[in-house]
Amino acid sequence: MSMSRPLVMGVVNVTPDSFSDGGLYLDTERAIGHGRRLLDEGADILDIGGESTRPGATRPLAEEELGRVVPVITALAKDGAVVSVDTMRAEVAAAALDAGARIVNDVSGGLADPAILDVVAGSRATYVAMHWRAHSDRMQEFTSYDGPVADVVARELRERVAAIRAAGVPDDRIVLDPGLGFAKTGDQNWELLAGLDAVQELGLPVLVGASRKRFLGTLLAGPDGEPRPVDERELAHAAIVTVLAQRGVWGVRVHDVRATRDVLAVIERMEAEQ
């Protein structure tokens, strides 16, 4: 069966404390350079974020977040990149769109700052709504689900879709993200991936971000029980990308664009022989 290739969203964390590369690209010029490298490696979208959402992270001030992301977005958008802003704040989303972003990737799905929906509705931007229950410093207190995880996630996302539509954002500009790692245990992440059809059955494009997350490190733990280091989880992530591509997801959010494009090139070549 023929399938379309998932879009590859490359991550540019302009933060001091993101779990995978915190501090590496906090400097504006380094962040811009990293974004350009990801484009050269085949990223379709660059996701620029100025707030870490790793478990336990505290929020920066809005002024800090703006100062981190706006210069990077401005430069990369001028290069012609399709830029996404990873933010939960309406103020930051508005500034990012003015700077040239075309996508608002809101991990809270509009729950952290409902005004963000009005910002998106008043623009032509695509809106990515992730499944979310609480901010990073408390989210692991909310891992209780009253049924199969995928079914509950789909139900709660359906509620967010209703709010997004009510704000005036049309379906052709809505993308859903099941929120791996957000208010979910490691086992629940695997259950969610296995049951992803429940989210896809909502009838909207789906973005999945599994790259380098802790549940992969836990799966690959050594004899001492310590999770595999963050930068040694890419082969496991490649396996997930293979499965997700076959399931027809809209996009994958990744740190290693080159490896992901290699996986997708193999899938496309094999498909061409069938």
50, 75, 116 from 91: Cα distances, Å:
13, 19, 8
Active-site residue flag, 78: no
Of 184, 213, 214, 261, the catalytic one is 213
Furthest C-alpha separation in the chain: 53
Distance (Å, whole) CA 22 – CA 237: 19
Q: Which residues pair with 11 in a beta bridge?
A: 47
State the helix-helix crossing angle for 62-78 and 28-40, rounded to 10 degrees. 40
Helix (H) or strand (E) holding 99: helix 90-99
DSSP state string for 111-130: SS-THHHHHHHTSS-EEEEE
Of 214, 233, 253, 261, the catalytic one is 253
**Which positions ≥6 away from 64 have C-beta within 8 Å?**
50
Rounded (5°) CA angle 8-13-17: 140
Residue corresponding to tokens 């499944």: 131
Distance (Å, whole) CA 50 – CA 162: 28
| 5 class by beta-carbon count within 10 Å (0-12 exposed, 13-18 middle, 19+ buried) | middle
Helix (H) or strand (E) holding 48: strand 45-49
Active-site residue flag, 124: no
The token duo for 154 is: 């789909």
User: Which residues are the active-site residues?
Assistant: 213, 253
